[in-house]
Structure 1
Amino acid sequence: MTIDATTESSDLYPVTRLAAAREATAAAGIDALLLTPSPDLRYVTGYEALPLERLTCLVLPSAGEAFLMVPRLELPAAEHSPASRLGIEFVPWDETDDPYAVVAARLGKVGGVGRVGLADRMWAMQSLRFRDAIPGAEQVLAGSVLRDLRMRKSPAETAALREAGAAIDAVHAQVPGFLRAGRTEREVGRDIAEAIIAAGHSTVDFVIVASGPNGASPHHELSDRVIGAGEPVVVDIGGQMPGGYCSDSTRVYCVGEPPADFVKYYDVLQRAQQAACDAVRPGVSCESIDAAAREIIEAEGYGRYFIHRTGHGIGLETHEEPYIVAGNTEPMAPGFAFSVEPGIYLPGVHGARIEDILVCTEDGGERVNHRPHELIIV
């Protein structure tokens, strides 16, 4: 889907990002960024280009003018995207042209390149073509340049995440009406997917409906398993909003009265998730937030059942930096947006996870999800 420049928020994709990316490129000792269709390209330009075998690529030299290589048949879409506000040259190419050679020749005219930063999600076929076209250049990841810019969300990005959070909350509010004994996970998932779009998302990124023992598999998604009475059901759902920013939230439901052992550890999980949220503030390390949840779960004897990190960054991607995990000493800063989602999973029995998206503010953490954390019995 291509977002029309007349409807896209200039605050969400400000033209100043191009200069900020150029400055970061120069500071990293990289001669040019090569950004093909990806969250990196959309972040810098606002253009959600189609990922095709035909090359679309923003070429951003650290010294010199940026330009956008675009297949001629995609030129109208590019011209109607937010990239049209950047004042850069669009360079259309025809089917018989070699766009990689064109990029190499143009970069040679601005002094040549020793290091190029490739979009983290560039296809291997494209990176190899660039390697052949610019054989003397070292290839590195553009993410190393853009990570600090993308991690610190602007007020407009934070507002977009709040909108996404409210939309996915509206879906969770409907889930009790979809769940009942005798329905399959896939049937429930189909209803949820329709609700995600109806709530304002442009795409459904994932729908996890994990009942009974499937709840012990964190990324189970859907199956034809019939949901039984008295079974907990983990529902983890998310999508992308028209502006490009993502939602992600997990709540746990039970079809009838829950098992006693489940109730016991669900209470532990609630306390752990709250402790991690309370730990968020500028200056603390990402790993300390993970530790705040993990210490409670371990103290209650469930440590070996908490098998993943506490969270991940979110923005134009559902999973991006920063990661809330042991070993990540990155200090929290205002604008960081990430999930807090500890889980407890008993193999072959059941499992649970509670997830909110938070944004680090000047004095703590702001949740963008507001559905109740209590076990919801339907």
Structure 2
Amino acid sequence: MNRTTTRARRAGLAAAASLGLVAGLSACGTESTAQAEGGRALTVTSSDDACDVSGAEAPEGTLTFEVSNAGSEVTEFYLLGDDGLRVLGEVENIGEGDSSTLTVKAPAGTYYTSCRPGMKGDGIRNAFTVTASDEGKEQLAEGTDDQKVQEALAAYKLYVRDQSAQLLEQTTRFVELYEAGDQDDEARALYPVARQHWERIETVAESFGDLDPLMDAREADVVAGEEWTGWHRIEKDLWPARAEKYRALTPQERVTYGDDLLANTKKLDQKIQGLDYTVVDLGNGSRGLLEEVASGKVTGEEEYWSRTDLWDFQANVDGARVAFENLQPVLAEKDPELAQTLTTRFDELQALLDTHRSGDGFVTYDQLSKDEVGALVDAVNALSEPLSRLTATVA
């Protein structure tokens, strides 16, 4: 199944998955006029190489994006948070010459608009600013707590689906490089980048108990008599330097393990499409991702062969933050002090991680000193305690 077919299959689910977050696929009459007068109605033209939005900013509140496809491929449009990961809303499967409308609630802040010709990759992004507005604040305040929670859950569902789709796309490319046999440098470069999409939704992926051990088991996790497959089996073959008397996999074995990883990634993507989420899922999932950091990434055990643990560390933090930020508007009303504490602790942990960046990624884990690892452990622990109170407070 190719990428376009996979995403086209999801088009019918997009509006339903969005729930209250994406208020509808059309805006007309008095509501549309009011939004236009308030600067909240925008037009988007998606082409093969551009994403032209009629404005670079709008007042906070209910925004409407009328998206037209002037390109030669099916396209989609996203409004993303300032991290480029959190999905506020999307419209998919816009055919050549067609149009669709995204209606979404957005508080003041910085965002990205993204058109994705061919419905793949990160898309063509532009910075977008939502400015403070008294009228907009009234629009955002409308609705019950339950409705706001449903909007948060819908946004998280879109995020998980998007990360799963990007995981499938990147894994497909990674397997192609690995199985080629003469492009190992490119495969090694893509390995931690592709795995970030897995790590961001790791707690969701782990809910499928049959797939997780097939895809993400470390060598030490495999019991006698079971075959070791998945990411880390391939990782060892690409980075055998730490292995004693290692026998490189044959070309046919590479194809076997690569095809197996890709087949399981496709199964995961299919299973994720039918998932819905609860507040408990988001709250516990966020905490669970930090526990993944504490149990594997901080210890350097996750990527034993490649030493790319910090890519995984960042991705786990990304996933935990997105889950928290989706619930943040509700939490801010129920316990503003906890909401601020979590925001501060996430920022502190991110600032510490950023000190270990190198180019577009990170230094390898073996370059960290004992004190630097200890500082990361302390920052994770400082965040874990208040994060453990998120679920009970919102629920």
Normalising by structure 1, we get a TM-score of: 0.33
Structure whose alpha-carbon radius of gyration is higher: 1
Q: Could you say which structure has the higher helix fraction?
A: 2
Q: Could you say which structure has the higher strand fraction?
A: 1
